[in-house]
């Protein structure tokens, strides 16, 4: 059933104020982008450059931040809800309309699943088709493990976590509550640590016997790989509220602090230390044993071979403070 909400109810939900004179009976039924606006939907603007798009709309319902309230007077033919933060207000609206769509209501164990008799299962758990769960595993309340996933021995998964199809979690790893693990993720894979013995014409492999520990409310994108730690008693750690995009590699012994965001195709080397509230952009490469301080920003495709101080923004190859990189780039352009 399609949800709907009135303009007045919408403004109340996002703690905004209405500008314009909408029909109080007007209902909105979802969200959309401002450049492809659909009637009866809610959109948003976050900066001045979208002002021209508003000129071509009529009776559009738009979330606008306080600092752009002047747009409401400039283009009065639309309906505006002025809020403190348009992006977060849009996310609240998205949650209202769509969050329930991703709740998996199924419970029980599929007849084709293979669950060892020693596994401890919480309430309202779902284990899908062709799933394997090994000895000594624990699955918390309301957790859903979807088709063709493999959970090895002694894995602990908390409550309310979703494991999407085709995920593999190696033995002794731990995942917290309310996590989302997307398809194709591999957690607890061997670390890539080899020594070339030229004299014996051999390449020796370091056996990894540690584990991976993932906190609460972590989301891991499709086809990401997280290696286990080298030594027994140690762990590769992904802390609470970390969000990792698709196609990311996290190497053995790495530690990622709370609320850090790691964007697609990033590679984090072995024993790297990433602080809290860090932003790591698309395709960044972070060398082994590097430390990145809290609230730092690593911009897209940066190659980080040296420690990054707290709060610093770095870019380039090798990465340096972003303002310095822009100065160097400008000088190079002038010399060409």
Residues marked active site are found at 252
* CA–CA dist 134, 114 (Å, integer): 8
User: Are the CB atoms for 278 and 260 separated by under 8 Å?
Assistant: yes
User: What one-character-per-residue DSSP string does 43-88 give?
Assistant: EE--SGGGHHHHHT-SS-EEEEEGGGTHHHHHSTTSEEEEES-HHH
What would the two tokens of residue 277 be?
């509230």
* CA–CA dist 186, 261 (Å, integer): 19
Question: Which of 167, 132, 170 is closest to 154 using CA atoms?
Answer: 170
User: Are the CB atoms for 242 and 258 separated by under 8 Å?
Assistant: yes
* CA–CA dist 286, 56 (Å, integer): 45
Q: Which helix (H) or strand (E) holds 26?
A: none
* CA–CA dist 63, 109 (Å, integer): 44
């Amino acid at each position: 059933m399609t949800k709907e909400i009135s303009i007045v109810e919408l403004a109340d939900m996002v703690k905004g104020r209405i500008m314009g004179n909408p029909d109080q009976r007007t209902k909105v039924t979802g969200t959309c982008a401002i450049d492809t606006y659909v009637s009866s939907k809610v959109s948003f603007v976050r900066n001045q450059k979208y002002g021209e798009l508003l000129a071509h709309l009529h009776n559009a319902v738009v979330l606008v931040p306080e600092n752009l309230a002047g747009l409401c007077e400039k283009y009065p033919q639309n309906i505006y809800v002025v809020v403190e933060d348009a992006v977060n207000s849009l996310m609240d609206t998205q949650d209202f309309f769509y969050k329930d769509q991703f709740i998996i209501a199924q419970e029980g164990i599929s007849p084709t699943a293979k669950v060892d008799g020693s596994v401890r299962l919480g309430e309202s758990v779902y284990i899908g088709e062709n799933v394997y769960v090994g000895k000594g595993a624990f699955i918390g309340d309301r957790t859903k493990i979807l088709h063709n996933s493999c959970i090895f021995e002694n894995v602990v998964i908390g409550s309310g976590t979703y494991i999407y199809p085709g995920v593999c979690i190696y033995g002794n790893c731990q995942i917290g509550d309310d996590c989302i693990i997307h398809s194709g993720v591999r957690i607890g894979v061997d670390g890539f640590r080899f020594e070339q013995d030229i004299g014996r014409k051999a390449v020796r492999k370091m056996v990894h016997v540690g584990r991976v520990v993932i906190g609460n409310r972590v989301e891991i994108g499709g086809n990401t790989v997280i290696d286990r730690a080298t030594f027994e008693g140690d762990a590769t750690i992904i802390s609470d509220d970390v969000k990792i995009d698709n196609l990311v590699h996290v190497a053995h012994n790495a530690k990622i602090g709370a609320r850090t965001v790691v964007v697609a195709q990033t590679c984090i080397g072995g024993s790297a230390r990433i602080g809290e509230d860090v932003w790591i952009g698309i395709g960044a490469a972070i060398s082994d044993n590097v430390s990145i301080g809290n609230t730092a920003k690593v911009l897209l495709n940066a190659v980080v071979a040296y420690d990054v101080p707290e709060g610093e923004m770095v870019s380039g190859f090798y990465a340096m403070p972003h303002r310095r990189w822009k100065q160097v780039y400008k000088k190079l352009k002038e010399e060409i």
